Structure 1
Amino acid sequence: MKKSDFYFDLPQELIAQDPLEDRSSSRLLVLDKNTGELSHHIFRDIIDYLHPGDCLVLNNTKVIPARLLGEREGTGGHVEVLLLKRKEADVWETLVKPGKKCKPGQRLSFGDGLLKAEVLETVEEGNRLIRFEYEGIFEEVLDKLGEMPLPPYITHKLKDKNRYQTVYAKYEGSAAAPTAGLHFTRELLQQIADKGIKIAYVTLHVGLGTFRPVKEENVLEHHMHSEYYQVTEEAANTINETKRKGGRVICVGTTSCRTVESAADEQGMVQPGCDNTEIFIYPGYRFKVLDALITNFHLPESTLVMLVSALAGREHILHAYEEAIHEKYRFFSFGDAMFIADLKGEK
């Protein structure tokens, strides 16, 4: 399986730079995963495709304002630090620019000394372990000084940083948003619950590796980044009960999908607990839990395009993307959405 099998030509102007005023008014392309049949809708129409007894799985991770701009002590040179993963209370694995000038022992300062740091060591892929020093509560300092770490393809500055959070974001730890969830409003979630659809919340802290391109032409040689997830007993019970009663498990976003598939045993029962996952889902994968997926439109040749191709088949996905491009759907984080499911009998 080659990386180039998942290539498509995407016009630059279709990359959404700003979120829509109303989250649920984005467009929705519905794809029958078996037949490849397509239909066009508005996102809030998703409720028509959800049935009593189904379970919607949402990732309630919260994006931290993980981008810090500061200076190197001694030289005053500019430095940018991106928080990737907390290792201990005040020690983080980070991505630092310019990395070459931030060797172990280098002291850094942010916000006129409100936050200080020291580079401890270099770890894999050139990342740095950094220890932070501050007065008070780290999260409050970060909220004051940090910026949202928007994906590299978004060049506009975000006016309201809450627009890069889902309305149900709860547990801080992500360097990127689980973007399929950005389309939901509280009102829409309430309507879904009122219709008899169960909602299960899981947590997967999204790492920046989610934007890392696949470099190897042979897809099987690609190594996935590790991400921390947690599934509560309540969420596991809700999902397993849905399966037992014949309802569908519908994941919102590839992160929710990767969480439930990582937490499932061979019988397809989701086990509560927490762990790190490097699961890589590509065509040929047999889904143990997921029945349907709500997702955004992804980058060419990305692991996310490979994941949706595992669910609906590469040909159906590439055809759907071709249609989306023709109809000028908006792509990536602030873009439009797809619903991929077995739709037999639904019109």
Structure 2
Amino acid sequence: MLYHPAVDHGGALDRAIARFGGVRSDWIDLSTGINPWPYPVPALPADAWTRLPDERGLADLAAAARDFYGAPAEAPLVAAPGSQALIQLLPRLVPPGEVAIVAPTYAEHARCWAVAGHHVRTIGAEALERDPADVLVVVNPNNPDGSVLRPGQLAALAQAQAARGGLLVVDEAFAEVVPAASLTPWAGMPGLVLLRSFGKFFGLAGLRLGFAFGPADLVQCMNAAFGPWAVAGPALAVGRTALADRAWAAATRSRLAEAARAHDDILSAAGLAPAGGTDLFRLARFADAGPLADRLGRHHILVRRFIDRPDRLRFGLPPDAAAEARLVAALCNKD
């Protein structure tokens, strides 16, 4: 299937307010996969705001990222102002060619490769190992269904891609909740690019911080393309502290897993069939998903709908008991 240019996203709260009314404080935004219990932002030194970020701060952040994600100590790494910036940059650094993306998945991958002049098509996961594309793109765990491909399988595929001058790009934006699925132990091997998002698991999407591991020459090109000071001083400071806090990460994984199971129970009780997801979001099937999303909108609850899958809705985790009660009431209300 060739790439279709229509792109929709979660998080479009302003558009929902324009349609259904209310003010931002009225709304519960369940349209993203962002942890609703964010990392507690530490007090920052004044010079994080007043001085240009220095090389030592960036090196310390990179070391913390390698350690947290389980990458080799010398794995080539670029830090960026969000994984979206990396998704946009990477296609511009690769010669135009054939790109195959395992779909359905996050639509920005297809858009960015197509805008950069590549021929983009989508494939099923079952066709991945025999596809001849120059670049293969996988989101693992996948968004929105949470499906996971074995890291060993993907590492072998990266090796095969490298042998013929190609790339395997693996977006691990949600891998913090399934660490065993990550390819970061293979970070730096030829033919493999790994993308990691800081903001989703740590609940600090507004900080704009992401990382890419890849072959040394490609990482060098990415660093050169971003230029100096790509990551802001506050992001350097918060990122270093949060990535080193293993106790918080372990407790958060447990909390998210428990919340996700409870969320499935709420959706099932309302007649929605579970269709996958991760511990940061749940996907559900419902024959009248569009009208249901509109009903929730009238109750000022925003969920993620899909243009190409009108029977699917994705739900983020409610942040507290009050939000959960509002969701239950709106799901049961037949207005």
Tell me which interval the TM-score lies in, with the shorter structure as reference length.
under 0.3
Of Structure 1 and Structure 2, the greater helix share is in 2
Normalised TM-score (structure 2): 0.25
Of Structure 1 and Structure 2, the greater strand share is in 1
